[in-house]
Amino acid sequence: MASNNEGFLTGEQREVLKIAVQSAEGLSSSPRSPSSMLNDCNFKGSTAGSRVPSGVRQVRRSHSGKLVKVKKDGAGGKGTWGKLLDSADTQVDRNDPNYDSGEEPYKLVGSTLSTPVDDYKKAAVAIIREYFLCDDVEELVQSLRELAAPELNAVFVKKLVGLAMDGRGRDREMASAAITALRVELFSSEDVVEGFVMLLEEAEETALDVVDAEEELAFFLARAVVDETLAPLDLAEMVGRVQPGSRGCEILRTARALASARHAGERLLRCWGAGSGWAVEDAKDRISGLLEEYANGGDVEEACRCIRDMGMPFFGHEVVKKALVMAMEKRRAGDRVLDLLQECFEEGLLTTSQMAKGFSRVQDTLDDLALDVPDARDKFITFAEKAKEKGWISLAFEAS
């Protein structure tokens, strides 16, 4: 008989098919027809007791004979706990007496990544605060060298002056001296100018935190001119780099007036009290005195000792400048002065950067020197060539 029934549905398979057809007719969401379901089943004849075809969806029948729609993915029915990871979409009432903030759903909060500029600013602030505490210019210069970010020198100038304006008069005096030292050792004139331009552009915002910010910034600019860190021409050029009619323009106008006023040097050196400004002025007088003594037959070792005892290594460019001017004005002192510079260079009292700064300062004043020394330019070119031969300055230095 099994052979005669081959190719036909068994009784058990017929019962399953009947249930499936009834379920399809009762569920409007299922557009499939009994015939399509039959094709999907892809029935083949089998012996009694075979398993239900995998293509037929099993339907659960209740005890009352009604068909029950099976929940998808198997999460249980009414009165069950649901799937393992199911969570109710409920909101926590913060006004509930039993409210617990720990029940609030977690929210991912994005955090901004620090940039190299941000890291530099943090390091710069730490270096500046350390300098204000220790008053060690050499340590300040060394710390900046270790940062190795010369493209951000202007940012350091801005931070230095900004923190000083928010501090005491002593801090402002130290900041001015630091700018002078850094201009010789590490910074270019453009670095200092750019730093001050950034401060001028933010003058209105700075005034909200520092009441006398505009006046202090004008003092910083004028003091930079007196210390020969900036030239008067730099202040004139900065006017074109700030917004017309802004507070920055007013500050520059005040700074230019301060720098060009009568006895400006004396006033600006004491604008923040008796500090390193007077030390700088005293150092200039001491340098002039030791050079005069040396030119009149003094000992080179004694002159080097006096320069070392001043304790102002960042001020070596002043020694170079005054020595070159003396060599131009006094013919007999020329060779002796160059010997002194050579001895200072060999002992490490003068660096190549200080030499270059000193030569550049003399070069900027050649027109004025020519009024008293007609051949000043020729002498300067001769001295510059000797300096290149001795390795004091770079071969690329243009003395013409």
136-161 pLDDT tens trace: 888 898 999 999 999 999 999 999 99
Q: Which residues contact 43 (CB under 8 A, 6 or more apart)?
A: 9, 13, 53
Distance CA 289, CA 96 (A): 85
Instruction: Scan for tokens 């007036």, then name that residue.
Output: 257
Of residues 20 and 301, which shows the higher confidence score? 301
Residue 13's pLDDT band, with cuts at 50, 70 and 90, is confident
Residue 164's pLDDT band, with cuts at 50, 70 and 90, is very high
Q: Which tokens is 137 given?
A: 């210019």
Q: Which tokens is 320 given?
A: 């170079």
Of residues 24 and 366, which shows the higher confidence score? 366
Distance CA 181, CA 193 (A): 15
Of residues 284 and 202, which shows the higher confidence score? 202
Residue 38's pLDDT band, with cuts at 50, 70 and 90, is very low
Looking at the predicted structure, is the pLDDT value of residue 46 above 50?
no
Q: Which tokens is 74 given?
A: 């198997």
Dihedral (C-alpha) 208, 267, 313, 341: value to the nearest 10 degrees? 140
pLDDT at 144: 93
| Average pLDDT score over residue span 351-371 | 87
If you ran DSSP here, which 8-state letter would residue 103 be given? G
Q: Which tokens is 204 given?
A: 């209105």
pLDDT at 128: 95
pLDDT at 37: 47
Beta bridge partners of 61: 67
Sign of CA dihedral 70, 73, 78, 79: positive
pLDDT at 45: 43
pLDDT at 221: 95
Looking at the predicted structure, is the pLDDT value of residue 17 above 70?
yes
DSSP 140-180: HHHHHHHH--GGGHHHHHHHHHHHHHTS-HHHHHHHHHHHH
pLDDT at 115: 85
* Domains of the chain as residue ranges with CATH: 1-72 (no CATH), 116-269 (1.25.40.180), 276-390 (1.25.40.180)
Looking at the predicted structure, is the pLDDT value of residue 29 above 50?
no
Q: What value does the mean pLDDT of the chain take? A: 79
pLDDT at 16: 76
pLDDT at 41: 45
- What are the helix and strand counts (H, E) for the chain? 19, 2
Distance CA 389, CA 382 (A): 11
pLDDT at 202: 93
Residue 24's pLDDT band, with cuts at 50, 70 and 90, is low
Looking at the predicted structure, is the pLDDT value of residue 34 above 70?
no
Looking at the predicted structure, is the pLDDT value of residue 218 above 90?
yes
Specify the pTM: 0.54
Radius of gyration of the chain (CA): 44
Of residues 342 and 85, which shows the higher confidence score? 342
pLDDT at 120: 93
pLDDT at 82: 55
Q: Which tokens is 107 given?
A: 């929210």
Is 184:354 a contact under the CB 8 Å cutoff? yes
Residue 336's pLDDT band, with cuts at 50, 70 and 90, is confident
